[in-house]
Amino acid sequence: MGLLALGTPLPWNEAKRYADHVRYHGITQFLHTWNRLKERQGDELLWGDEIEYMVVVLEDAAKSARLSLRQTEILDKLSRIVDNISSECPKSISVPTFHPEYGRYMLESTPGSPYTGSIPDILSVEANMRYRRNLARKHLKSNEVPLTLTSFPLLGIPGQFTEPYYDPVGAISSHSLFLPQEITNPHARFPTLTANIRQRRGSKVAINLPLFVDAKTPQPFVDPAIPWERDIYPEDSDAKNGAALADHIYLDAMGFGMGCCCLQLTFQACNIDEARRMYDALIPISPILLALTAASPVWRGYLADVDCRWNVIAGSVDDRTDEERGLKPLRNSRFRIPKSRYDSVSLYISNDWKNRPDYNDIYTPYDEAIFNRLKDNGVDSLLAKHISHLFIRDPLVVFTETIDQDDKSSTDHFENIQSTNWQTIRFKPPPANSPIGWRVEFRSMEVQMTDFENAAFAVFVVLLTRAILSFHLNFYIPISKVDENMARAQLRGASALGKFYFRKNVHTQGNSGPSSGSASPVNGNGSHPVKEKKLRNCFPAPPHPENGINHEPVESEYEEMSMKEIMTGKGTNFPGLLGLVSEYLDTLDIPTDELRKINAYLDFIRLRSTGQLQTPASWIRDFVRSHPDYKQDSVVSQAINYDLLVAVDEIERGVRSAPSLLPKKYRGGHADQGSIGI
Ligand code: ADP
Ligand code: MG
Ligand code: MG
Ligand code: MG
């Protein structure tokens, strides 16, 4: 999770004195990058995934499944092993990297080097993910398993949910009623981040998820698991004084959100303009894929009426003051800020003519002095607005040792603000002292329980980015509608039941007309398409139409569509995202066998999007509700949790079948040939 500098972090009352210093030098650092690399061209498609795991201890005799807090030990061991495994590692896979995460039970892994656009590389993703999982598994204790669960169902229940047990009374950073201090990675950054968010905000974070009310759920539901009368920290009375709503699951700590796992993908673009086009096109896609990957229906031992983690994380790091949240008139704070630091994107940033000003239709506060400074230094308005919007935030963790930096060689201050703006899509400028170019990160997806599913989504999104760039697809809808989709995406059953705003005509011309996307590059004489052998970068922006654009009103450019329509098509004009990906594949020269393998992933995504296969969230909900121990009262017991997590592990390994979740051919993590025999 972002930058992990070493040093002595300042408590909030001291850190806040350096906010302007960090912002000023952060911008200086960005300007150095901008001046050096704004004209950089020709970077190839390199890309990578990030997968987060929870380490779970399964005690078969006691039928308990708990979070193992051995992250530090496990990472030590993995890094030692990783240093030594070059020989053990198959030739096709470079030695992977394991990273710490917020939760002390979490691990993150990334491929040792990014994938390229070659078809064999694209098809190596699943084996790479599985290799990483097995490597982690091999170095855990015999009763520990690395599970790719988005949210841990019993996090924060009364009693024991971690191994070993710790009491929440010692939660000195979060002041949580539910989560002990020891849930948090002990590296100074994480407890400080937790405490400084609470102090900056002026209160404990508060999230209320609607409860899934079942046949025998008491009504109204007043949660007996909340220690209503606890009196240790000043905020303990918050729950009683209205922070905890009836008929909701109340969550009061950063760990409930940042303790979730997700699947992220990062793509390098040819140049900054291509990165900006890709960024914009992925913005409307982010809620769609959040709904399609929904995987987190259980929170603090209760079934929720939502399927996704997003709003929990947004609330869990919401450091805005009452004034910024609009609860009080502005006195000490500088802006009214509509969103948390962890939230959906608020601005499209491409300079492409397709990006009509009307699409940026929500109030997006930005720091005017920073905006002007960026403009004065040659940054165009849209990018200046993006950066000066991110920079309305304060740095939350400031290390005494790194307050003064060489702005020419460091981007730490810039990254301090950038990496604590956790938005659905992140525009990643090139890091200091690195050969890496301009990149875009896709961050909304929930992690899937199997590497087959995770690989399928990785393959789908990388192909979609190529379809976007090569066909110059236009996915723009007003950003307020993307936000509405974010809210809808998280509702129970959104993928199967919901409707989402989507653009009707995705081909480049603003007004209706045939696809202007020329699928393939043409050869020397300008006529015969040359089929590419790999996915690539560098698709020049389409020229502005000569006769001007006959804009329709924005409102008539989009409509509500079901997931099935968005993914598989609607009417004769819109082939759906999967259709667009297939059209893109037609422009490539791919051997039949490899195409079959790619199609196996796309078929799975199609089945998920039509509802023929369930989302992980629906599958988990059904598992809980049909468990013999379930009393139709919304409660997920220790026994249900144990059986659920054993099932998840067995499904991943292919020991147990899950025909409503995975394709019939799925054979699991230990199959040599890929999990569905491909
Ligand atoms: P963060 O946590 O800041 O998002 P990570 O280092 O965890 O960053 O993940 C970065 C991802 O970017 C990894 O999947 C990695 O493989 C990938 N990556 C590394 N170099 C490049 C590159 N040049 N282009 C695209 N992706 C890259
Ligand atoms: Mg992470
Ligand atoms: Mg990471
Ligand atoms: Mg990331």
Ligand 1 atom, smallest distance to 419 CA: 3
Atom in ligand 1 nearest the alpha carbon of residue 115: 16
Q: Give me the residues near ligand 4 (ion), CB cutoff below 5 Å.
A: 50, 264
Of the pLDDT bands very low, low, confident and very high (cuts 50, 70, 90), residue 544 is confident
Does 220 sit behind a cis peptide bond, omega within 30 degrees of 0 on the bond before it? yes
Q: Using 50, 70 and 90 to split pLDDT, how confident is the model at 513?
A: very low
Distance 108 CA to ligand 2 centre (A): 6
Tell how far the Cα of 344 is from the centroid of ligand 1, in angstroms: 21
Question: For position 519, what pLDDT does the model report?
Answer: 46
C-alpha–C-alpha distance, residues 443 and 50, integer Å: 10
Which residues sit with their C-beta closer than 6 Å to ligand 1?
46-50, 99, 110-111, 114, 264, 266-268, 436, 439, 441
Task: Work out the percent of the chain whose per-residue pLDDT is above 90.
Answer: 89
Per-residue pLDDT band for 144 (boundaries 50, 70, 90) equals very high
Ligand 1 nearest atom to the CA of residue 49, by list position: 14
Ligand 1, atom 23, residue with closest C-alpha:
436
Contact 489, 291 (CB under 8 A): yes
Partners of 529 in the beta sheet?
Answer: 522
Strands 207-210 and 248-251: antiparallel
Q: Tokens standing for 376? A: 């004065």
Distance from Cα 122 to the centre of ligand 2, integer Å: 22
Tell me how far the alpha carbon of residue 503 lies from the centroid of ligand 2, in angstroms. Answer: 31
Element at 265 (helix H, strand E): strand 263-268
Q: Ligand 1 centre and the CA of 296: distance in Å?
A: 25
For residue 106, give the ligand nearest its CA.
2
Residue nearest to atom 13 of ligand 1 (CA): 48
511 pLDDT band (50/70/90 cuts)? very low
pLDDT of residue 30 exceeding 50: yes
How many Å lie between the centroid of ligand 1 and the Cα of residue 607? 30
Closest atom of ligand 1 to 48 CA is 14
Reported as a single tens digit per residue, the pLDDT across 213-258 is 999 999 999 999 999 999 999 999 999 999 999 999 999 999 999 9
Looking at 390-404, 550-564, 664-678, which range is the least confident one?
664-678
**Spatial distance between the Cα atoms of 41 and 269, rounded to a whole number of angstroms:** 9
Residues 6+ apart with CB under 8 A from 84: none
State how far the Cα of 233 lies from the Cα of 231, in Å rounded to an integer: 6
Relative to the CA of 267, which ligand 1 atom is closest? 25
pLDDT score recorded for residue 155: 98
Asked if 399 and 7 count as a contact pair (C-beta separation under 8 A), the reply is yes
pLDDT at 516: 42
Mean of per-residue pLDDT scores for the chain: 94
Choose which CATH entry (3.20.10.10, 3.40.630.30, 3.30.590.50, 1.20.58.220) describes domain 47-258: 3.30.590.50
CA of 108 from ligand 3 middle (Å) equals 7
Nearest ligand 1 atom to the CA of 108 is 7
C-alpha closest to that of 7 among 398, 420, 432, 433: 398
Question: Minimum-distance ligand to the CA of 262?
Answer: 2
Residue 529 reports pLDDT greater than 90: no
pLDDT above 70 for 439: yes
Q: How many CB atoms lie within 10 A of CB 234?
A: 10
pLDDT tens for 36-84 read: 999 999 999 999 999 999 999 999 999 999 999 999 999 999 988 776 7
pLDDT confidence tier of residue 136, bands split at 50, 70 and 90 = very high
The one-letter amino acid code at 274 reads E
Sign of CA pseudo-dihedral 463, 464, 466, 470: positive
* pLDDT in the model for residue 514: 37
Task: Look at 316-320, 545-549, 591-595, 651-655 and tell me which has the smallest mean pLDDT.
Answer: 545-549
Closest residue by Cα to atom 15, ligand 1, is 48
| 255 alpha carbon – ligand 4 mean position (Å) | 18
Cα–Cα distance between 674 and 678 in angstroms, integer?
5
Closest CA to 7 of 397, 290, 377, 281: 397
* CA 442–ligand 4 middle distance (angstroms): 8
DSSP β-ladder status, 162-163 and 64-68: parallel
Helix (H) or strand (E) holding 68: strand 64-68
pLDDT by residue (tens digit) across 84-118?
Answer: 765 556 666 788 999 999 999 999 999 999 999 99
Say how far apart CA 536 and CA 401 lie, in whole Å: 42
Ligand nearest the Cα of residue 3 is 1
DSSP three-state, residue 310:
helix
pLDDT: which is higher, 90 or 491: 491
User: What is the CA(100)–ligand 4 centre distance, in A?
Assistant: 12
* pLDDT tens per residue across span 329-375: 999 999 999 999 999 999 999 999 999 999 999 999 999 999 999 99
Mean pLDDT of 153-175: 98
Characterise 188 by phi-psi region: left (phi > 0), alpha (psi -120 to 50), beta (else).
Answer: alpha
Closest ligand to C-alpha of residue 266 is 1
Residues 6+ positions from 14 with CB-CB distance below 8 Å: 398
Question: Which residue minimizes the CA distance to atom 6 of ligand 1?
Answer: 110
Q: CA torsion sign, 605 to 611 to 612 to 614?
A: positive
Which residues, chain by chain, have CB under 5 Å from ion ligand 2? 1, 108
**pLDDT classification of 560: cutoffs 50, 70, 90:** very high
* Residue of 554 and 530 predicted with greater confidence: 554
Please give the share of the chain, as a percent, with pLDDT higher than 70: 94
What region does 2 belong to: left with phi over 0, alpha with psi -120 to 50, or beta?
left
Residue whose CB lies within 8 A of the most ligand 1 atoms, among 43, 110, 258, for a mutation test: 110
CA–centroid distance, 439 to ligand 1, in Å, is 9
Closest ligand relative to 265 C-alpha: 1
Å from CA of 458 to ligand 4 middle:
14
The span from the first CA to the last CA of the chain, in angstroms, equals 33
Ligand nearest to the CA of 44: 1
Find all residues with CB under 8 Å of 427, minimum gap 6, and list them: 275, 276, 279, 349, 386, 438, 440
Q: Determine the distance separating the centroid of ligand 2 and the alpha carbon of 263, expressed in angstroms.
A: 8
What is residue 93's predicted lDDT score, i.e. its pLDDT? 77
Q: Where are the domains of the chain?
A: 47-258
Tell me the β-bridge partners of 532: 588
Q: Give yes or no for residue 671 having a pLDDT over 90.
A: no
pLDDT value at 163 more than 70: yes
Measured from the Cα of 2, ligand 1's closest atom is 3
**Atom of ligand 1 minimally distant from the CA of 441:** 4
Q: For a substitution probing ligand 1, which of 37, 50, 95, 419 has the most ligand atoms within 8 Å of its CB?
A: 50
Does 677 score more than 60 pLDDT?
A: no
Task: Tell me the best of 43, 47, 129 to mutate to test the pocket of ligand 1, counting ligand atoms within 8 Å of each CB and taking the most.
Answer: 47
**Model confidence at 14: pLDDT above 70:** yes
The pLDDT score that the predictor gives to residue 517 is 44
Residue nearest to atom 20 of ligand 1 (CA): 114
pLDDT in tens, 260-287: 999 999 999 999 999 999 999 999 999 9
